[in-house]
A and B are shown apart, each in its own frame.
Chain A
Amino acid sequence: MDLLTTSVATVESGSEPYTLVELVGEADVTNSDALREVLDAEVAKQPRTLIIDLSGLRFMDSSALHVILRANRAMDRQGGVVALASPRDPVAKMLRLTAADQLIPVYQSVSEASAG
């Protein structure tokens, strides 16, 4: 089984569609290139909102965080928004420690994130 699996969906919500990327497993330096490819591909489609569901992510290191921050910068440049949803304790700690949660909004759930 892969250490990190990613799945991507376009969700039609009430107001406007958003892109949902779900990360499951452990995100570290050994799979950050693959994660970057997935996020780059979605950012290139220029969605208004890109929500990353972290509920299945058991671990995230600084390599993976940099990939997410990079996607956030790219989305910001093209007028879109990245939101993070339901990080588990170790991942939430990482976001808090680096103050990444000051740059990217973090929500309790995907539905809260999609409501903005």
Chain B
Amino acid sequence: MARSSVQFPEPPSRSLPLPSPTNDAMYHTYRSDLSQVRALVLQHAREAGLTEGRANDLVLAVSEVAANTLRHTQAPGTLAIWHNAEEVVCEIHDEGTIADPLVGRHKPSLDASGGHGLWIVRQVCDLVELTSNANGTTVRMHMALRPPGAGD
């Protein structure tokens, strides 16, 4: 189920840079091992206090975005994770470029051969920010630690 993003400010335009991660963010560079990426996200999400179901949602979202790095770029990608009292944030940056600003906004047909990744990301995360330009793509995924009225 899509969650409302009302508790967050409007995401910036996709052409503007996002504010920097916090100073205590953990960074990890990946080339091919998505299992390690998932393990890091799960561990951090649990430590931050996300419920098991929402931690697994975040793992799925990050894995889908990181999979795009492997599909569409030759260079490694970078994962950054941080959290504060309100939320856990995972950010994936790679050298790919996304041309479609509405990517993942519409549910693809199950007959399609691909294209579910970013749609899934938008379904499971509380807020997704995406910036893409000639220097690469950054996808920032937010999960609130105490979502309003949300169970698992």
Which listed residue, A63, A89, A94, touches B67 by the CB 8 Å rule?
Answer: A63
Given contacts A28-B63, A73-B111, contact A98 B120 (CB under 8 A): yes
A93-B110 in contact (CB<8A): no
B38-A62 in contact (CB<8A): no
A30 interface residue, CB < 8 Å from B? yes
Which listed residue, A3, A26, A29, A98, touches B71 by the CB 8 Å rule?
Answer: A29
Q: Please, which residue of chain A has its CB at the minimum distance from the CB of B52?
A: A89
CA–CA, A97 to B70, complex, Å? 24
A29-B67 in contact (CB<8A): yes
A89-B110 in contact (CB<8A): no
Which listed residue, B38, B60, B110, touches A94 by the CB 8 Å rule?
Answer: B60
A28-B110 in contact (CB<8A): no
* Chief secondary structure at chain A's binding surface: helix
B67-A66 in contact (CB<8A): no
CA–CA, A3 to B123, complex, Å? 26
Q: Which residues in B have their C-beta under 8 angstroms from that of A62?
A: 64, 67, 114, 116-117, 120
Q: Please, which residue of chain A has its CB at the minimum distance from the CB of B56?
A: A90
Q: Which residues in A have their C-beta under 8 angstroms from that of B59?
A: 59, 90
Q: Which residues in B have their C-beta under 8 angstroms from that of A61?
A: 34, 60, 63-64, 67, 117
Q: Please, which residue of chain A has its CB at the minimum distance from the CB of B33?
A: A30
CB A72 to nearest CB in B, in angstroms, measures 9
Q: Which residues in A have their C-beta under 8 angstroms from that of B123?
A: 97
Interface of A toward B, CB cutoff 8 Å: 3, 26, 28-30, 59, 61-63, 65-66, 69-70, 73, 89-90, 93-94, 97-100, 103
Can you list 16 A-B pairs, Cβ within 8 angstroms, ordered by A? A26-B38, A28-B35, A28-B63, A30-B32, A30-B34, A59-B38, A59-B59, A61-B60, A61-B63, A62-B64, A63-B67, A66-B114, A70-B113, A94-B120, A98-B110, A98-B116
